[in-house]
Chains A and B, each alone.
Chain A
Amino acid sequence: MKKIPLWIWQILLLVALFAAWHILTVPGLAPNFFFDNNDKAAFFFGEPLRIFTAIWIWFVDGEIYPHLWVTLQETVLAFVIGTLCGLGVGLWLGLAPLASAIADPYIKAANAMPRVILAPIFMVWFGLGIWSKVALGVTLVFFIVFFNVYQGVKEVSPVVLNNARMLGASKAQLLRYVYLPSATSWVFSSLHTSVGMAFVGAVVGEYLGSAKGVGYLIHQAEGTFDINTVFAGILVLTVFALLLDYVVTFAENRLLRWRPGQSETERI
């Protein structure tokens, strides 16, 4: 028997899930075994066909594009600003033992705090536009990158460092040619998590108060108990997050070529 490729199984699973969803929710298709009313399942869980119709209309009418664009902007801005701040502060504290010793309890406290509760404060500070969402995303991204860079700086191989010093690197050159590349590799290892966090910041921020964005669409639909549109928004966000992750993987493969991969090492 010929082996069936993995992706066929994956697609079959997806189809099966949607089929089950369809059968269990469309009124009258399956006997009621939990709800006392035919329409209740559809009310709580939506109907796949209506959800797809809603998505189809969004994309055909072009209604979704400005919202997606806003969410994308927020995500990218939060990611870039958070990463740069995390990189800068991580390098600084990694190289200044005294400063890091003083800051240590505060960093731990700031990291332990559930930062989503900052969203209302950011809304007061930055308004309902994109910047309050960017600020929320930044607080989420910053700590991931910061801890990675901090660790990365501490773990730069002392031999590589001494070698660079013997080759004549000045302090500034050590920072630029040894610490920074070493720390950057740690940033990239946390890339998936930090892009994901930037996205979470953007959507949660939109959900809590905004005038644009996919999170706003979901919030609006929820206000009118339009569960199908809520699910449509969730599906669009999921696909969007998958695409972002794909872009990150692509960037990672390009930029971390120097890293030994599992199968990449060749025998010469």
Chain B
Amino acid sequence: MSVDHKAMHKTVSNVVSNPLHNPPHNTMHRTAMSLRNLTVTFAAKSGNASYTAVKDTTLDIADGEFVSVVGPTGCGKSTLLNIAAGLLRASAGEVTVLGEPLSGINTRAGYMFQAESLMPWRSARDNVMAGLQFRGIARMDAIKRAEEWLERVGLAGFGARYPHQLSGGMRKRVALAQMLILDPKIMLMDEPFSALDVQTRQLMENELLALWETDKKSVLFITHDLEEAISLSDRVIVLSAGPATHPIGEFIIDLPRPRDVAEIRMTPRFLELHEQIWSAMKQEVLKGYQQTRNKLVA
């Protein structure tokens, strides 16, 4: 199994355009976060055998690097992210954050969820200031900073609204401000925009890039959308289909920055990268699709 695994890595390194992890914008070479030999096995529940979601996965994110992880649906991408966040404990392997081993919640990281994560009983402003409140920061100060952040994500004047009074895109902006107000070193994003319509989504992606450009945080971005991954990232990592997911390819995205996610999709280099990554991914997507179909039939 492990021999087989290595062989696959070899074929992959042929595809990689620049095998050295050296994103063009990155001036500091420190590692922000490193996942080492992670294996995640979910304990057997009555009637079900134990399930290995992630197997022997190693992944590094440099300081200020934007890394996307793509893979077929149900391959364990979110599991990987939950481990990085400290919400889930790996069965084997180690997570280090800024050089220190992670135990418990990853306090240096902000997490943006795929599903609705705002507290529905709090107004937009109170949601944004929640993290400051948990840290015991004076109320007036927290309110002031929350208002500033609402303005930065384009929601000035919407602070008094409750989540249900906001559109899906606006709720995502609130979630973004809620995360960024704590100034995390690392941003973990789990398909944050997948529920939005295409236009809103591209708008949000551009804004995310703009916010990221101002103070380059390290980003681990999970998505099943390859175009989104390429247009945002410095590096794209492709995961195999589950169970026992592991990285099968790694691609440096050398597109110039700043980028416009809608426009960059038309450039020849984008298409070239897309084709390369897709050819590596295709097999796995088909495999993943076959598995879900078998599951449905069974």
- Smallest Cβ-Cβ distance to B175: which chain A residue: A163
Mark contacts of B91-130 with chain A using CB atoms, 8 A cut-off: 1 yes-contact digit, 0 otherwise.
0000000000000011101110101111111110000001
Contact of B164 among A170, A181, A260 (CB under 8 A): A260
CB pair B109 A166 closer than 8 Å: yes
Known contacts: A258-B162, A259-B164, A265-B164. The answer to whether A163 contacts B117 by CB under 8 A is: yes
Q: Is A111 part of the binding interface, using a Cβ–Cβ cutoff of 8 Å?
A: no
A212 to B277, CA, bound (A): 83
User: In whole angstroms, what is the CA distance A166 to B110 when docked?
Assistant: 7
B203 to chain A minimum Cβ distance, whole angstroms, is: 15
Interface of B is mostly: loop
Whole-angstrom distance between the Cβ of A186 and the nearest chain B Cβ = 11
Per the bound structure, the CA–CA distance linking A169 and B122 in Å amounts to 15
Residue of A nearest to B110 (CB): A166
| A167–B122 CB distance below 8 A | no
Q: How far is the CB of A179 from chain B (nearest CB, A)?
A: 11
Q: Is the CB of A163 within 8 A of B120?
A: no
Contact A258 B122 (CB under 8 A): yes
Nearest opposing residue in chain B for A173, CB measure: B134
- Shortest B190–chain A CB gap in Å is 10
B34 interface residue, CB < 8 Å from A? no
- List A147-195 residues whose CB lies under 8 Å from chain B: 157, 159-160, 162-170, 173, 177-178, 181-182, 185
| Given A177-B130, A257-B162: A164 in contact with B110 (beta carbons within 8 A) | no
Count residues of chain B with CB under 8 A from any CB of chain A.
34
Interface check A268, CB cutoff 8 A: yes
146-188 of chain B: CB within 8 A of chain A: 162-167, 170, 175, 178-179, 182
Which A residues are in CB contact (< 8 Å) with B175?
A: 163
Establish whether residues A258 and B107, one from each chain, have CB atoms under 8 Å apart when the complex forms: no
Q: At the interface, yes or no: B74 with Cβ under 8 Å from chain A? A: no
Q: How many residue pairs bridge A and B at CB < 8 Å?
A: 79
- In the bound assembly, the distance between CA atoms of A213 and B178 in angstroms comes to 53
A36 in the interface (beta carbon within 8 A): no
Is A61 an interface residue, CB under 8 A from the partner? no
B295 at the interface (CB under 8 A from A): no
Would B118 and A160 count as touching, CB distance under 8 A?
yes
Alpha-carbon gap, A173 to B134, bound state (A): 7
Residue ID in chain B nearest A161 by CB atoms: B117
| Complex Cα gap A185–B119 (Å) | 12
Partner of B167, one of A170, A181, A268: A268
CB pair B121–A258 under 8 Å, yes or no, is: yes
Mask, A226-246, CB within 8 Å of B = 1, is 000000000000000000000
Judge if B195 is at the interface, Cβ distance under 8 Å. Answer: no
- Give chain A residues whose Cβ lies under 8 Å from the Cβ of B162: 257-258
- Given known contacts A165-B87, A167-B130, A169-B134, A159 and B113 CB-to-CB distance under 8 angstroms: yes
B135, CB-defined interface residue at 8 Å? yes
Q: Which of B110, B133, B134, B175 has the most CB of A within 10 A?
A: B134
Bound complex: CA A166 to CA B86 (Å)? 9
* With contact pairs A167-B178, A169-B134 given, residues A159 and B166 touching in the complex (Cβ less than 8 Å): no
* Bound-state Cα–Cα, A256 to B165, Å: 13
> Which A-B residue pairs are the 3 nearest by beta carbons?
A163-B117, A167-B131, A260-B164
29 contacts between A and B (CB under 8 A): A159-B117, A160-B116, A160-B117, A162-B87, A163-B118, A164-B119, A164-B134, A165-B105, A166-B87, A166-B109, A167-B178, A167-B179, A168-B107, A168-B134, A170-B134, A177-B130, A177-B133, A178-B119, A185-B121, A257-B162, A258-B120, A258-B123, A258-B162, A259-B164, A265-B164, A265-B165, A268-B165, A268-B167, A268-B170
